[in-house]
Amino acid sequence: MNTTDKSRLSLWQAAWVVARRDFQAILFSKAFLLFLLGPIFFGAISIGAGMLGAKAADSAEPPRLAVMLPAAQADALVRAHRELDALISVPPIERVTIGASEPAALLSDRTRNFGAVLTGTLAQPRLIGTGEQIERWQGRVAVIVARAQGPDTTYPAVALEQTRSSMASTRSAQTGTATAGITLLFLLTMLLAGMVLSNLVEEKANKIIEILAAAIPMDAVFVGKLFAMLAISFVGIAVWGSLALIGLTFGPGTGASLPMPAVGWPLFVALFVLYFALAYLLIGSVFLTVGSMAATVRDVQTLSMPATILQLAVFFLATFAMTDVGSAVELFAAIFPLSSPYAMVGRAAQSPELLPHLFAIAWQVAWVAIFVRSGASLFRRRVMKSGPAKRQGKSRFALVRRSIRQ
């Protein structure tokens, strides 16, 4: 008895055996080489997702114009803005006391979303901001200033003073980075998580899974298959990432710079890889549980539909939540286990705080363990029919009684 217990593999040893076997079997198969061509067919999806992300970015809080004028002139400008706001499209404004802060400090303040600062006087207005923003607002500011001076006043010449960046332009760029990160994470998990289903159904049809279940703990089978598919996913990402890097290096338009995320590129890439692994393990454990309940490919298609719809809902939730970091919707998306990796990728692009990522990673790891344990338990009870002895005795008695009646 003791010899048998010592020779039996532990949970992690058995999981390593399963993971190594699945990894080698899939990596050197012809089907995997064809699978690497899959991203080509997802090009149209990525374009559509990018358009969706652009609309989500447009729905975010618009940049405001800081009005730094003498008190009487600021009052007149506010009244003119209120009158014109009902007639034409004018930028939202916010009064700022002269001397309370420098224009450069206002434009870099993270708590405010200022796109430009209006200083000087109504007779000689001066607009400070990024080149693109002040050129867009120059004509509208001239209309507001002329209305504030009186009905017979001609449009003044608005002096432009260009700065390198503003918080509004920084937020817009970081929102684009967040959209790209969430979209890429969704496409990768959507593309790669399906391998778990097909692999498990194939082994169930060949009775291999029953042999594994008799030899090692079912938890080890689940863990081994999940991490084997995760390793295969990293191989695919490495291939696709290398091709994308070559295309960006030698392709046209290489001079364009990507928007810098709030945490910086090195940390953002590291967090993205980590959140992809956690997102894959979360949705992979769900798909693995679905595959354990399916006997045929048709059953897989039927049972996987709710999981696929849930994955789409998670993507839309994270895309919507990233437009307002710190809101109730964004916090819910960060707490809900399946949407947490997506929401935290969006937060990494827009907020430099690192402490929330530590809590989120620990939270997601805990849910991975819960999902894997629950999936293994469901597999044992409903597929392998290996529940408690009393339940087995009842099922056998019912089977004998049914056969007697027939």
Tens digits of residue pLDDT in 146-188: 999 987 788 888 988 887 655 566 666 777 788 888 988 888 8
Report which listed range, 238-242, 347-351, 397-401, is most confident. Answer: 347-351
Instruction: Give me the pLDDT at residue 27, please.
Output: 84
Over the stretch 250-299, which tens digit does the pLDDT of each residue have?
755 544 456 788 888 899 999 999 999 999 998 888 887 777 776 666 77
Instruction: Give me the pLDDT at residue 239, please.
Output: 84
Query: Which region among 10-14, 273-277, 342-346 has the lowest average model confidence (pLDDT)?
Result: 10-14
Segment 74-87 mean pLDDT = 91
Instruction: Give me the pLDDT at residue 333, please.
Output: 93
pLDDT score of 330 more than 70: yes
Report which listed range, 41-45, 104-108, 343-347, is most confident. Answer: 343-347
pLDDT band at 106 (very low <50, low <70, confident <90, very high): confident
pLDDT band at 380 (very low <50, low <70, confident <90, very high): low
Higher-confidence position of 68 and 38: 68
Instruction: Give me the pLDDT at residue 137, please.
Output: 93
Higher-confidence position of 205 and 368: 368
CB atoms inside a 10 Å sphere around CB 298: 9
Instruction: Give me the pLDDT at residue 45, please.
Output: 62
User: CA–CA separation, 293 vs 329, rounded Å?
Assistant: 33
Higher-confidence position of 61 and 285: 285
Instruction: Give me the pLDDT at residue 258, please.
Output: 62
pLDDT score of 390 more than 50: no
Instruction: Give me the pLDDT at residue 165, please.
Output: 59
Instruction: Give me the pLDDT at residue 278, please.
Output: 93
Domain boundaries, the chain: 7-57+170-391, 64-165
Query: According to the CATH classification, is domain 64-165 in 3.40.50?
Result: yes
Segment 189-209 mean pLDDT = 74
Instruction: Give me the pLDDT at residue 59, please.
Output: 55
Mean pLDDT (the chain, rounded): 79
Higher-confidence position of 113 and 298: 113
